[in-house]
Amino acid sequence: MDHYIETIKDLNIGRVEEFASLKKYTSYHVGGTARAIVFPKNTEGLVTLMRYLRENNILYKVLGKGSNVLFSEKNYNGVIIKLDDFDEITFFGRNKVRAGAGASLIKLSTMAAKRGLTGLEFASGIPGSVGGSVFMNAGAYGSDMGYIVERVKVLTPDLKIIHLENREMDFHYRSSILQKHRDYICLEVVISLQKGNREAIEEVIRDRRERRLESQPLEYPSGGSVFRNPEGTSAWKLIDGVGLKGRVQGGAMVSDKHANFVVNNNGGTADDVKFLIDLCHDKVLEEYGIDLKCEQEFVNWE
């Protein structure tokens, strides 16, 4: 593996961080060590990197802001790809914005609000990247990315760049075509918004921020909501109903503020977090017969 990493560094496609702790790059602040994290500086560099990784059968994972993923404590003997430099945000026309996959969704929603553009208010508290939010079809308050995305630029497995229109993205509740084609890499997104009143938009964002602070455990590291809400009810109600709200495992806890959050409140490990996620799932299935769907991705647990 050392030889491969040295070759990647010689390709001069962007910064390479070796033996990187994944605790720094995930919102749970848990996980093992990645052999290398590569930060391609542009699309050409990414294509070069992907070609090399595939030609040499090197394990890899594209990682956004790390807010919806749980790495195990094992070492990741491969390459993590971070598109942090794909973060350009450009507003054009009357109501459109082009955003790189590595751009912050919160930053994007704030910039839109300052321009009096409405449609991204739901995203003002989602701590992910634009690419990750498209992958998951992130949403809140009755809206999601599927309502506003016009088209998505992706890199295909054969290293071609294509554009997928909204109808081709197959957006559904917390789902998109990218989850079915995990070897596609989101590069850029064009979003269509509407003109609105800046003061009214910013008031909505402030109000929702206050509501999140009151109802969600934002003071601790977490991965956000753990489970999708089943039809007709809320995941937190089910978890609370089986008596797991506040349940502690090692240094992690099912939040006593919002039961659909597992928090790293005392130096927890990935094993602590996963134990609680599995416990919540199994108890709800046992008592209610409801198979909760986890929103978070488990990596390197094999």
Instruction: Answer for the pair 188, 103: CB distance below 8 angstroms, yes or no.
Output: no
Q: Active site includes 174?
A: yes
Q: Is 225 a catalytic residue?
A: yes
Spell out the residues 6+ positions from residue 276 whose beta carbon is closer than 8 angstroms to its own: 244, 247, 249, 252, 253, 254, 262
Annotated active-site residue in 98, 174, 198, 228: 174
DSSP per position, 23-70: GGTSTT----EEEEEEEESSHHHHHHHHHHHHHTT--EEEESSSSSEE
Strand pairing report for 297-299 and 69-71: parallel
Task: Lay out the sheet containing 33-40: strands in order across.
Answer: 14-21, 33-40, 76-82, 60-63
Q: What are phi and psi of 81, to 5 degrees?
A: -105, 120
295 classed as catalytic:
yes
| Alpha carbon distance 196, 109 (integer Å) | 13
Q: Which residues contact 291 (CB under 8 A, 6 or more apart)?
A: 281, 285
- Sequence length of the chain is 302
Task: Choose, from 35, 247, 255, 295, the residue flagged as catalytic.
Answer: 295
What is the rounded distance in angstroms from the CA atom of residue 142 to the CA atom of residue 177? 20
Q: Is the dihedral of CA 47, 52, 56, 58 positive or negative?
A: negative
By annotation, the residues acting in catalysis are: 174, 225, 295
